[in-house]
Amino acid sequence: MATGVAGSMLMEGARQWAQGKRPRLSDLLLTPANAVRVTHQLAQMRGAAMKVGQLISMDGGDLLPPELATILARLRSDARAMPARQVQAVLTANWGAKWQQRFEPFSFTPIAAASIGQVHRAKTKDGRDLAIKIQYPGVRKSISSDVDNVASLLRMSGLLPKTLNITPLLQQAKSQLREEADYQAEGAHLQHFGQLLADAPEFLVPELHPDLSTKNVLAMTFVDGLPVESMVQAPQPERDRIVRLLVGLLFRELFEFGLMQTDPNFANYRYDPVGQRLILLDFGATRAFAPAFGAAYRQLNIAAITRDRAAMQQAAVAIGYFDQAAPPGHQTAVLNLFELAFEPLRQTGDYDFGSTDLAQRLRLASLALDRDFWHIPPVDALFLHRKLGGLYLLATRLKARVNLPQLMAGFR
């Protein structure tokens, strides 16, 4: 991949020089041809490299050149499935040589394929209808090198300031991805969330089947439903209710549970239109938050809603967005950004996500921050932003109207 990208950069650079132009390195890297090459290779590599590409396309797509954002978006659905012989080998290693005797005819065609594993529907001879998630061989071993390689591409692209130290973030990313690749840990989170939401019949969490689950294979009850983003044609009240439930769940995760599923991928939510239930899938990216973090974020919310700048600054310092030594102009710019971001929570009545231009205003405000003072916020805050951003995108996609102050009132 590196050889192909470098060759393409040399050819494009020579072409622009011949036209009298002086191209930047980042412009040469982010050509459509290179984006196609990188996307194709990441989809074949799967694992952490593909996952980082998915996150770039979902969370940072609006900051990328349109050609790159469009092509990277393919990574959300373009994973290469394992061939049948590889599936057979993985299941034999995890279940033993005679594993097929426990199932009705096992279909080796996956019903879903993603960055770290693929899912098969299977029925056991004792009558269980299961979704079996099987991890791609070698994914766990490749995490460190995959993250480093994609980080190198980001640095070369010029999207990150040279002064920004992303080393701590890369270490956390590797740690998080290793946890996501541990299906026994995910199974424990699956069970825990089932218990936490036992009082909420509007949510459905699949049941874990421990007898068939290992570090590389996760077995859970198969639950049918529609992709949540496909509900764009549903009646307005139904779309509003879906987003209201997910925002309410986020508040419970942050302020009550101290535990959050932080992966915003739309594929992690499905909807049962008959039972009007939200189906929650994929708990690999589950993160525990310290009580102090939730308390500081609650303070930030309340202060931003009431426009109490002194309390906002105190909460921002407690969370770690900046310290007291940061230049006053930088602190003011960050607080302005917070005040803007909390606009939906200051809205009287329903906030219309379908007609707002808040995302564009936030983007402009973010880009206006002095790059010399950029730093990586605490990782807990980044994972929370990731979840918030995903819900915002979904609310916008569904054109939902939600009374956010009403939802927040129970946690103030």
Strands 203-204 and 277-280: parallel
Nearest-angstrom CA–CA distance, 190 and 205: 7
Residues 6+ apart with CB under 8 A from 156: 25, 26, 29
In 185-311, which ranges are E strands?
A: 203-204, 217-221, 226-227, 259-261, 269-272, 277-280, 286-288
CB 282 within 8 A of CB 117: no
Residues 6+ apart with CB under 8 A from 333: 365, 368, 369, 370
Q: What is the number of alpha carbons within 13 Å of residue 230 lying toward its C-beta?
A: 9
CB 159 within 8 A of CB 63: yes
Token couple for 314 = 């105190």
- Burial of residue 316 (number of CB atoms within 10 Å: 0-12, 13-18, 19+): buried
Phi, psi angle pair for 31, to nearest 5°: -80, 155
Marked catalytic residue, from 146, 263, 282, 380: 263
Is 240 a known active-site residue?
no
Instruction: State the virtual CA torsion across 319, 325, 330, 335 in degrees, nearest 10.
Output: 40
Residue by residue, DSSP assigns 281-296 as: ---TTEEE--HHHHHH
Q: What value, to the nearest 5°, has the Cα angle with vertex 87 and ends 86 and 90? A: 85
CB 299 within 8 A of CB 314: yes
Chain position carrying tokens 């206006």: 368
Give the catalytic positions in this structure.
263
